[in-house]
Amino acid sequence: KQLTIEYLSSDLFKGVGPSTAKKIVSVTGPDIFEFFKKVDACEILMNQVPGMTEEKVNNILVIIRNSFTEKKVFDMISPFGGTFTHAKKIYDKYKVNSINELKKDPYNACYSVDIPFSVADSLGQSLGFDKYSKERLSTLIYKVLQCNESYGNTYISLQSFHSFLSNVKKQLAFKEEIPMSILAPIIMQLKGVKIIKDENDILSGEIIKNTYSEIFSNKSKYEGNRTYYGKIIDNTEVID
């Protein structure tokens, strides 16, 4: 019931505040989608909710019909701390594929639209994702690379990688110890990421044409693609 009140109080429904939402839900019950299947649903609301005009009811009806998938996304993530704003972000990106994307990889779906890791992780665990799954650890790795990039770097040594990793794990409340033997194969599979074993590559022209300013100027193009347009330099540790 409270989730439906929050849903009706969201930015989707202009002019419907928490007070009006409570009155509507007291008539419709918690399953507002089921209620609006009734032939006389609009008439019932106009008669039983003070100030509910035909125009307002019709507006609500149109939005509900158009936001069915958004509501399903909300129902899926809300038990894990997800809000309707989060659900709308996911829907705006994935549209009718939203539920499938969440089931396939909740970590990627949430990361791509800046939804907290805690929401993705709780949902992922409920869907049976292992704590060492590629989907879960990929998000951790991208967060590390994102931190490195925020300092203007397109390259990162493994020593720095471990340092950032420690900080990111604290931020995300990521409790597990993850050996590099597990992370390295995942890193090498990520799009746009390369582990360089030859230290001389640092001096190549590639770093000049792949500068941070170039990445930043194209950020809108890359954003949300879970792609890191930099490199990890393996000059401090051997990876098997």
**Sequential DSSP letters for 47-87:** HHSTT--HHHHHHHHHHHHHTHHHHHHHHHHGGGT--HHHH
CA–CA distance, 145 with 211 (Å, rounded to integer): 15
Are β-strands 231-233 and 155-157 bridged in parallel, bridged antiparallel, or unpaired?
Answer: parallel
Predicted pLDDT of residue 153: 74
Predicted pLDDT of residue 129: 97
Tens-binned pLDDT, residue by residue, of the chain (240 aa): 788 888 888 877 887 889 999 999 999 998 888 888 888 988 999 999 988 888 888 888 888 877 778 888 988 999 999 988 899 899 999 988 999 999 999 999 999 999 999 999 999 999 999 999 999 999 998 888 888 878 877 677 777 788 889 999 999 988 888 887 888 788 777 766 665 544 443 333 333 333 333 333 333 333 443 444 444 444 333 333
Predicted pLDDT of residue 48: 94
CA–CA distance, 52 with 192 (Å, rounded to integer): 54
CB atoms within 10 A of CB 161: 23
CB atoms within 10 A of CB 47: 10
228 DSSP assignment:
-
CA–CA distance, 93 with 136 (Å, rounded to integer): 20
CA–CA distance, 173 with 14 (Å, rounded to integer): 37
Predicted pLDDT of residue 238: 31
Predicted pLDDT of residue 193: 66
CA–CA distance, 98 with 85 (Å, rounded to integer): 14
- Name, in order, each residue with C-beta under 8 angstroms of 56's C-beta and a sequence gap of 6 or more: 15, 16
Predicted pLDDT of residue 170: 92
Predicted pLDDT of residue 121: 96
Predicted pLDDT of residue 195: 57
pTM listed for this prediction: 0.66
Predicted pLDDT of residue 234: 40
